[in-house]
Amino acid sequence: MTATEIRPTTDALLKTEAPKKPANMGQILRWTLLFLGGVAMVMPIAYMISTSLKWPHEVYNLKLIPDEPHLENYTYVLEDGRFYWWFVNSMIIAVITTICNVIFDSLVGYTLCKFRFPGRYIVFIAILSTLMIPTEMLVIPWYLMSQQFGWLDTYWGIMFPGLMTAFGTFLMKQFFETVPDDFIEAARIDGLNELQIWWTVAMPLVKPALAALAIFVFLGNWTAFIWPLIVTNSVEMYTLPVGLSSFGDEADVAWELIMTGAAISTIPTLIVFLIFQRYIIQGVVMAGLKG
């Protein structure tokens, strides 16, 4: 038998390589569910942008494509001086809170994870248990406290409840568990003090977690509504979500302006996400492995 006799022809290869698979019901169901999930997630964004391009009389018409799309709303919002105030307020609050969370949550998480001291477990449980208290319950004590300390209508007043979070502490503690003690002990032998070890050795090793935490905290504060609404009185101190909700009056909510402001305000969150997304994916993967 020669080689040519056993070599299949091109036709035969094509036939064998692409067999038609019968439609798999499971797969169809999976794709349908994914498609529906995708639509559910994209629709609010699509309507936000669509509404921001509509005239007021068109707002309650649920058509996705406006009859007369225009950019007047954007001009109006951007020319309205208040919007810039709110934007700057939100940015200051979100950035400072994020930085504080990254530092404080990781310091506490690191301490709870890498140091053995009496009551360590109790402290950890106490911190975790605060996760079970809803914000709505805390708002009044926070308000009374702010009033007594004179923090109402100040940046500090808006920020203080969120400078450190139980969730962030828990997240960082869990990630520090993945840092082998050998790294820390090696640094200790090399003569670094505990703060230096935390900063130069431990922190760089949990960058994905820090990025994930930064995104969570930034988004959480950027979109925070209830507490900033309660603690601020003057329009200049409003954050974006609070400010946007004030567009229009009691009789008529200016949805097209709110949606325009919302569309603009998503830009920073998109930027933050794009910068850190590779870390957050890494972080989620790590959490999955070690969680």
Q: Which residues bind other proteins (CB under 8 A)?
A: 180, 182-183, 185-192, 201, 204-205, 207
The neighbouring-strand residues paired with 253 are 248
Between 203 and 237, CB nearer to other proteins:
203
Distance of closest approach, residue 54 Cβ to other proteins, in angstroms? 50
Tokens of 13: 């290869």
Closest CA to 238 of 92, 85, 91, 95: 85
Between 67 and 185, CB nearer to other proteins:
185
Distance of closest approach, residue 278 Cβ to other proteins, in angstroms? 15
CA 261 to mean position of chain CA atoms: 19
User: CB-side exposure of 29: number of CA atoms within 13 Å?
Assistant: 3
3-class secondary structure, 243: helix
Distance of closest approach, residue 43 Cβ to other proteins, in angstroms? 42
Between 27 and 193, CB nearer to other proteins:
193
Between 38 and 180, CB nearer to other proteins:
180
Between 59 and 213, CB nearer to other proteins:
213
User: CB-side exposure of 22: number of CA atoms within 13 Å?
Assistant: 2
Distance of closest approach, residue 78 Cβ to other proteins, in angstroms? 42
Between 67 and 190, CB nearer to other proteins:
190
User: CB-side exposure of 28: number of CA atoms within 13 Å?
Assistant: 5
Contact 91, 239 (CB under 8 A): no
Distance of closest approach, residue 122 Cβ to other proteins, in angstroms? 18
Between 135 and 193, CB nearer to other proteins:
193
Between 206 and 257, CB nearer to other proteins:
206
Contact 157, 231 (CB under 8 A): yes
Distance of closest approach, residue 106 Cβ to other proteins, in angstroms? 15
Closest CA to 157 of 82, 233, 99, 271: 233
Tokens of 167: 């969730």
CA gap 261, 222 in Å, rounded: 13
Closest CA to 56 of 269, 256, 260: 256
Distance of closest approach, residue 281 Cβ to other proteins, in angstroms? 18
Distance of closest approach, residue 206 Cβ to other proteins, in angstroms? 10
96 phi/psi in degrees, rounded to 5: -65, -45
CA gap 194, 237 in Å, rounded: 40
CA gap 136, 143 in Å, rounded: 11
